[in-house]
Amino acid sequence: MAMTGVLRPGHAVIRVLDLDESVTFYTEVMGLKETGRDKSGRVYFKCHDELDHNSVVLRKADKAGLDCFAFKVLNKATLDTLAGRLKDYGIATERLPAGEMLETGERVRFQLPTEHVIELYAEKTNVGNGLGRTNPDPWLKDTKGINPTRMDHCLIYGPDIDANRKIFEEVLDFTLVERVKLEDGSTDLATWLTCSAKAHDIAMVRHAEPGKLHHVSFLLETWEQVLRAADLMSMSRTSIDIGPTRHGITRGTTIYFFDPSGNRLETFCGGYDFYPDMEPITWTWDEVGAGIFYHDRKLNERFLTVVT
Ligand SMILES: [Fe+2]
């Protein structure tokens, strides 16, 4: 098997203001499946084609935003190796015991220079996608709402995204896939990185305030499902930020919208496959609008300013 190290985004812990309203939204509109609640009141969900117990966790709080974003690594030995590499790089890590999150093994937690909390873990209970692993049907009947395939990536906002990128590249073996340059032609406004063959597993935008969430994104399989998702958002009076449209960056088709607490989410489809022998793509400042929103060819103010 070619893939080692960090495998993929694993879970996003999202802060919400009203738990009941949020559970209804993530269940009925997003179509995620609730898989459990823990003693501290966190509610766990998975998307329909995910095998592991959870990928989205909601925590009630006074402020919306992202508590942490986690990546699943190959196995426990890999977790120990990466924890050692973080330490050698000078990054403080904390170990959270197995079971602190439902059905989730030991986690290694650390903070990025942008103050976002990242976790690595190797084990999460495989509850399956309901289709089995022998002669499976292609999809489940009786699904709800938008029904994304998986939680796919996140975009975070903070000041020192250069230091963030170095950690992802030098410690966790991520690769730079795309970048947007500022007017000076050298400073990165934004970077897209992958740990896999996806166009991105995490992205970051330079922003004065640390620790901010721009969006958590969910994969759909077709452009028609993106259109259907927009219909469902309108039917449920969900606040749409922009879309359906296309990103020039990654080529993904997209809708940005908000959960009831104001956290921006994305449903998207597409994006090319990335392999390590490919050069990163660069977007220049004069074409940044087309990079973000390919049809409008200009940024809206909200893209750069509305974060949780
Ligand atoms: Fe995205």
Mean pLDDT of the chain: 96
CA pair distance 120, 91, nearest whole angstrom = 14
Instruction: Tell me what the mean pLDDT of segment 48-53 comes to.
Output: 98
Q: Which residues are catalytic?
A: 153, 200, 215, 247, 256, 266
Nearest of 60, 70, 111, 63 to residue 195 by alpha carbon: 70
Q: What is the mean pLDDT of residues 58-74?
A: 98
pLDDT at 1 over 70: no
Closest CA to 289 of 245, 258, 255: 245
Distance of CA 88 from the midpoint of ligand 1 (Å) = 31
CA of 211 to the centre of ligand 1 (A): 17
Would you say residue 230 has pLDDT above 90? yes
CA–centroid distance, 218 to ligand 1, in Å, is 8
Distance 37 CA to ligand 1 centre (A): 27
* Among 93, 102, 29, residue whose Cα is nearest residue 59: 102
Distance of CA 256 from the midpoint of ligand 1 (Å): 8
pTM of the model: 0.97
- For 36, 69, 132, 166, 222, the CA distances from 307, given in Å and listed in that order, are 28, 16, 39, 24, 27
How far apart are the CA of 184 and the centre of ligand 1, in A?
25
Of 52, 31, 55, 30, the residue nearest 43 (C-alpha): 55
Residues 92-145 pLDDT 10s: 999 999 999 999 999 999 999 999 999 999 999 999 999 999 999 999 998 999
Q: Decide: 175 and 273 in contact? Cβ < 8 Å.
A: no
pLDDT at 2: 67
The predicted structure's pLDDT at residue 131? 96
Q: Model confidence at 85, in pLDDT bands (50, 70, 90)? A: very high
Report the pLDDT averaged over residues 29-35. Answer: 98
Handedness of CA 109, 161, 178, 155 (dihedral sign): positive
Query: pLDDT tens digits for 235-246?
Result: 999 999 999 999
